[in-house]
Amino acid sequence: MAAAASHSIHDRPWLDPAQKPFIQIQGVSKQFGPFVAVDNVDLDIYRGELFSLLGGSGCGKTTLLRMIAGFETPTSGRIVIDGEDMSSVPPYDRPVNMMFQSYALFPHMTVEQNVAYGLKRDGVAKAEIQSRVNDMLGMVELTQFRKRKPHQLSGGQRQRVALARSLVKNPKVLLLDEPLGALDKRLREQTQYELMNIQDRLGVTFVVVTHDQEEAMTLSTRIAVMDQGYFQQIGTPTEIYEYPVTRFVANFIGSANMFEGRVASQEDEIAEVTVDTLPVPIRAEHAAPLAAGTRAWVAVRPEKVQLSREPFSQAGINMLEGQVEEIGYYGESSTYRIRINEDVRLEVTHPNLRRPRDGRHLAEWEDKVYVGWEPGAAVVLTS
């Protein structure tokens, strides 16, 4: 994430008004009967991006991907790829390849034939097909299984065949529906690395659907968080994590402590929110002006809360007093659940900087502790 900050505008084409988006999704909706699967979505994706779609099950990710690939016709709106309106372009003429969530491997063809199929349809010379298929199978470590049929493969192997089959054609746009779900950790990291490599080398534009937020955070140039057919937020991993704009995003990506209250005042981009269940108002950063009395939620991430046995002395810090109720020890860090009062619990993640002394961690069960965070560590959400 530190690296992301040092990137120039060339790596962030969405900030450059002179750049033309490569994929434009304009007011696209998809209805199945009365059910709205994708709801009036606008999205620009730029050349060479690795764009992730993140969201819960059934929120319309696959449907959106299928519309880009041409298997579903939008109920309204249009999709433009590389300046060309795709409305009347059939799937086989689109400069797009898709890896299906179900893999969709041809059961009557061997691994090799599956991977070669797309190249054959393009009329690539035999020798070239052979060498490209070999390279691809080498990359996904399936060379020894080349003669097998899909039903003779394990789930992870099938997934790699599907990946290889969609990559081998070097399309301008690659749509990947949960590409790495069934892989073990080592292969997963390797394939992630390989995907980034391909993207660098060939400038392919990726649109990746994933359930795995960690994967989305590390791979993506940008992430769209989707819920019930529309985008809650589109932004870089840092923006999404540090500046979520809705409660859904704050809870979906990472975890957050959330306090509901009303805006009391706002001064120098710091809002003060009174929370009924807390004795003191909470102060949090918010640049946009907020009217007093607005219903608002303050969200603060567990790792941004400090924990101490002594009261904090800094001025302006939000400080609460509580009791340790629960400790989860993860080795490199511990998560404490702090009971502030009957209604409020606060989660705090603290790195284990030192070994426990005399068998005692930073705090133990039933200890009286102070928790605190700076206004800049929290965000105010209004929806």
Ligand X SMILES: Nc1ncnc2c1ncn2[C@@H]1O[C@H](COP(=O)(O)OP(=O)(O)OP(=O)(O)O)[C@@H](O)[C@H]1O
Residues that bind another protein (CB under 8 A): 69, 71, 90-92, 96-98, 100, 102, 104-108, 117-118, 121-122, 145, 149, 151-154, 157, 165-166, 169
Residue 270 CB, shortest distance to ligand X, in Å, is 38
Measured distance CA(181)–CA(192) in Å, rounded: 11
- By beta carbon distance, the residue nearest ligand X is 62
Residue 1, CB-side half-sphere exposure with 13 Å CA sphere: 10
Residue 196's nearest CA partner among 213, 176, 225, 224 is 176
Q: Does 62 bind ligand X (CB under 6 A)?
A: yes
- What's the gap between Cα 255 and its chain centre? 14
Residue 224 CB, shortest distance to another protein, in Å, is 22
Q: How many residues belong to the site for ligand X (CB under 6 A)? A: 12
Q: Does 37 bind ligand X (CB under 6 A)?
A: yes
Stretch that binds ligand X, among 14-22, 56-64, 73-81, 237-245 (CB under 6 A): 56-64
Q: Within positions 83 to 142, which residues make up the interface with Mg ion, using CB under 5 A?
A: 101
Between 158 and 361, whose beta carbon lies closer to another protein?
A: 158
Q: How many residues belong to the site for Mg ion (CB under 5 A)? A: 2
Stretch that binds Mg ion, among 36-44, 55-63, 168-176, 198-206 (CB under 5 A): 55-63
Q: Does 220 bind Mg ion (CB under 5 A)?
A: no
Interface pattern 84-113 for ligand X (x via CB under 6 A): -----------------x------------
Contact predicate 358/300, CB 8 Å:
no
Residue 198 CB, shortest distance to another protein, in Å, is 18
Between 72 and 285, whose beta carbon lies closer to another protein?
A: 72
* Contact pick of 62, 97, 114, 233 for Mg ion (by CB under 5 A): 62
Q: Where are the beta strands (DSSP E) in the chain?
A: 23-32, 35-45, 50-55, 76-81, 84-85, 96-99, 173-177, 205-210, 222-227, 230-235, 257-267, 270-274, 282-285, 295-300, 306-308, 318-329, 333-339, 345-351, 368-373, 378-381
DSSP codes, 74-129: -SEEEEEETTEE-TT--GGGSSEEEE-TT----TTS-HHHHHHHHHHHTT--HHHH
Measured distance CA(63)–CA(74) in Å, rounded: 10
- Expressed in angstroms, the distance from the first to the final Cα of the chain is 27
Residues that bind ligand X (CB under 6 A): 32, 35, 37, 55, 57-63, 101
Residues that bind Mg ion (CB under 5 A): 62, 101
